Structure 1
């Protein structure tokens, strides 16, 4: 990465915001009453999140690496693939990007938030929720999903895909959401969950309900551990 740190941080900030707008935007389109996509199926959400990772990767992959995920940044640093001195700045802008992306999404969907009385539907357009209301189930799902995400991203990056690798990573995310998204959402990314959860807590939306902070540690801790294990397995076998 030849770009300056400032340029790379700008790319991470914008890329994370776009991921939230596209991904949580798809959730809002499905969950919020009166939208054009209201009550449509899970594929729309999987497609939105797949493109929410793919499009920033195409835009910024050559600039910042398009981590847009603190778990990715930390796991790469642990494996010696990313400088530790850049870890904290990357994570800060990733969280800020997620929060700004969610604020933009609220502005776009405000009339539909006002019409919606389903509190879990509203919350789901911000954060992840374990459908079984089980922190253990949520942890297992987020751990496995992020392990596969990081392992797969490293394997794809090592392949001879060139720029098309960004599209393949987007398809990986889309498949993870379609296949493992039923239990929790999923997050696979601490910034994707915690940043919007803070916005949910602070924003005075009608009928928004509880922010479910008792669950908030799961989509932070499990993705970080899953990412480190996924990167470690890849490095141990294939590096």
Structure 2
């Protein structure tokens, strides 16, 4: 399903953060969103998911305008969301956390536990373990599984690699690529770790001061300098939709 964002404006209260975001994501496509801290990456995902109000512009998914839909309605039309630092329900076991995620509203379809464990076999050995006892990478895997169990058409992923050791980041990337191949799920991935973005996405959009300034291929992500509060790239031209 195609995601179309045009001149999106959003922020926190009276403080504007997004100043006219425009891009298009084709069905089943994996797209990265990269940029320095404070440029609007997380704000973009929260606005798309309905956790922040759209203050201007338009957003549509498979032709459906969702700018005024609450978050639970966006979930029903196919959005899945893993926020930054997602920890789930620390007092529940892994199995209980997955079972809770299968509860969907009218018209929704949840995968069975066996079905989701086929996609995330790493979780099988932790089913009776408290979610709080998992490592950072294992919690991220559980968070993705909880989102995927609702059969989304588009996953919004915020900083999955944060605080996760490199070997586990590689496993997360492998799992996302596998999901994309087997489930045809579109993925919009925000992450500071450019190597992680390059390993899953074909292209990335650079966000700078609340606007998409450039588009860059995954192969050229290493050209970006996201340090020192500026973005420099020898290969980026002007962004266009």
Larger strand percent: 2
Same fold (TM over 0.5): no
TM-score bracket for the superposition, by shorter chain length? under 0.3
Normalising to structure 2: TM-score of the pair? Answer: 0.27
Normalising to structure 1: TM-score of the pair? Answer: 0.27
